[in-house]
Amino acid sequence: MAMTSMVNRQLVFKAALMVFVALCVAAIGAPNDTTPKSSCTFGDCHVEYQSAEHTHAPVEAGVCKFCHRPASDDKHLFKLAREGSDLCSTCHWEMESHRNIHQGFDGGGCSSCHDPHGSDNPFLLPEATTADTCESCHAEIIGSRSTLHTPVATGSCTVCHDPHDADPMRSDAGTADLCFQCHEATSDELGTLDHIHAPVQTGSCASCHDPHGSDHAMNLRDDVPGLCYQCHEDIMTTVQAAKSQHSVASEPGGCTVCHTPHASSVRFGLKTDPLTLCRSCHEEEVTTKGGETISGFAHQVEGKEFLHGPVRQRDCGACHNSHGSDHFRLLHGEYSPKFYASFDLNNFQLCFSCHPQRGVLTEETTNLTDFRNGSHNLHYAHVNRPDKGRTCRACHATHGSNHPKHISEWIWFGGWELPVTFEKTQTGGSCDSGCHGLRAYDRDTPVEYDRDSIPLDGDDTPPEIPRGQ
């Protein structure tokens, strides 16, 4: 369609130019050029100029002196009426409006693409098609690419390029506007979404896509994730150096499993909210390449009355780094996979990113926690121990529970599943976990017991908590 439109414009312009030339001839006269005997194409001289399917208007009108001036009558030598592109712009004045002149045109080389007398090809081109003409200089554009952009494959260079202008694209408004003339669905999508990928936002489609062709899917300049790493170097470092690696982040095409490359209604260009996205892979049990089994997520949250805040907010990224981490289970901070951990604030780094440290640093309190016997802080009693401090996961379910405060139904200890048997009361509660006998606490009326008898018995070096807990 673009080629047909251009041909029609060329025919209209040619007709107008013929009229213009005729008027010029009438006004200035054309001695020695008004009869067949004096024409340059008379007899055996330059007859081929009149036989071409497409003839330049001055040639067709027989006004050779419109472009040529005699330099030596006796030697039959002529010179151009004006130098370089100035000669052509005498009639083709619209060419002067170009701000970025195509190299051949700028050097006066209009004839490198157009025959100034006549041609059997449209636009007086030396080759059969526009694409063939372009390729005579720009052969590297196609090269050995396995997949070509549709305009390139169909030889429609002028769909995107103005052949007289060296500006890379036809559109003055930017690359994206040019691309959107065909890729309307992408344009419509961007108008409805809040989170737009930076190259799309700046109209730099060619940052990721080669507009002529590529050996990669979707005419990308490189495979994913290599292409993404060109801008997201920090992500590349995380993926490659992380001790705990998310396999999908380094797999071919892995970035697009979670992210949409143009725009999204979710931050970071995610395809959907993080919880739904993560559950698409982790709903059921997963075995890693290293042979580790990660428990399915469904049973940890389905039907649970009390969900951990980030789960309730559908924000897995609050605790997990989806690209990789130096911590267990891709966590942002240390969260021991073991039942015991000697007390060190660094061992509880993840939890303390939201929960105040004072809860395990203060032995006596009346307001820091509800888990206290009178004023005795039972979080402190369980956690703040130099040898066998209990980690958060010893009592709390990481993702969700049917008990208040996310208390677990059971704990994994030394290869055994031990029921927690937690009972909550109005002012306290009780626990009969198997780690110790029945213990009760009450904030208002402290339960009498010997504090020294509270240490839990058990294996000094229990295994890591399995099943993705």
Q: Tell me the C-alpha distance between 102 and 166, whole Å.
A: 4
Give this prediction's pTM.
0.75
Q: 340 pairs with which residues across the strands? A: 390
Q: Tell me the C-alpha distance between 441 and 459, whole Å.
A: 26
> In sequence order, which residues have a C-beta less than 8 Å from that of residue 114 and are 6 or more positions away?
123, 124, 125, 126
Task: Give the residue from 400, 451, 404, 396 showing the smallest Cα distance to 425.
Answer: 404
Alpha-carbon separation of residue 375 from 360, 379, 442, 450 (angstroms): 13, 12, 9, 15
According to DSSP, residue 340 is labeled B
Q: Tell me the C-alpha distance between 360 and 155, whole Å.
A: 72
What does the pLDDT read at residue 16? 56
Q: Tell me the C-alpha distance between 302 and 204, whole Å.
A: 44
Per-residue pLDDT of the chain (469 residues; tens, 9 = 90+): 444 444 455 455 555 555 555 555 444 444 444 444 456 776 667 877 778 889 898 888 888 888 888 887 777 788 888 887 778 888 888 776 665 667 665 555 788 888 989 999 989 998 888 888 888 888 887 776 788 899 888 888 888 888 877 666 665 556 788 899 899 999 988 889 999 999 998 888 989 999 899 999 999 999 999 999 999 999 999 999 999 999 899 999 999 999 999 999 999 999 999 999 999 999 999 888 778 888 899 989 999 999 999 999 999 999 999 999 999 999 999 998 888 888 999 989 999 999 999 999 999 999 999 999 999 999 999 999 888 888 998 899 999 999 989 999 888 777 778 888 899 999 999 988 777 778 899 999 999 876 555 544 444 443 343 334 4
What does the pLDDT read at residue 83? 80
Measured at the alpha carbon of residue 233, what is the angle toward residues 231 and 238, in degrees to the nearest 5? Answer: 140
What does the pLDDT read at residue 39? 65
- Helix, strand, coil percent values for the chain (each to nearest 5): 35, 15, 50
**Is 11 strand, coil or helix?**
helix
According to DSSP, residue 287 is labeled E
Helix (H) or strand (E) holding 420: none
> In sequence order, which residues have a C-beta less than 8 Å from that of residue 217 and are 6 or more positions away?
223
What does the pLDDT read at residue 450? 67
Question: What are 87-94's contacts with CB under 8 Å, separation 24+?
Answer: 91/17, 91/20, 91/21, 91/57
DSSP string, 114-177: S-SSEESSGGG-SSSSHHHHHHTT-GGGTTT-SEE-HHHHTT-GGGT--TTB-SSSS-TT-HHH
What does the pLDDT read at residue 174? 64
What does the pLDDT read at residue 467? 38
- Return the exposure string of 349-358: e unless at least 16 CB atoms fall within 10 Å of the residue's CB, then b: bbbbeeeeee
Q: Tell me the C-alpha distance between 206 and 227, whole Å.
A: 12
Q: Tell me the C-alpha distance between 393 and 44, whole Å.
A: 101
Cα 81 off chain centre by:
54
**Two tokens, residue 378:** 């039972």
What does the pLDDT read at residue 21? 52
Residue 69 contacts residue 46 (beta carbons within 8 Å): no
Q: Tell me the C-alpha distance between 138 and 155, whole Å.
A: 13
Radius of gyration in angstroms for the set of CA atoms belonging to the chain, rounded to a whole number: 39
Q: 372 pairs with which residues across the strands? A: 377
Half-sphere exposure of 314 (CA within 13 A, CB side): 10
Q: Tell me the C-alpha distance between 106 and 83, whole Å.
A: 12
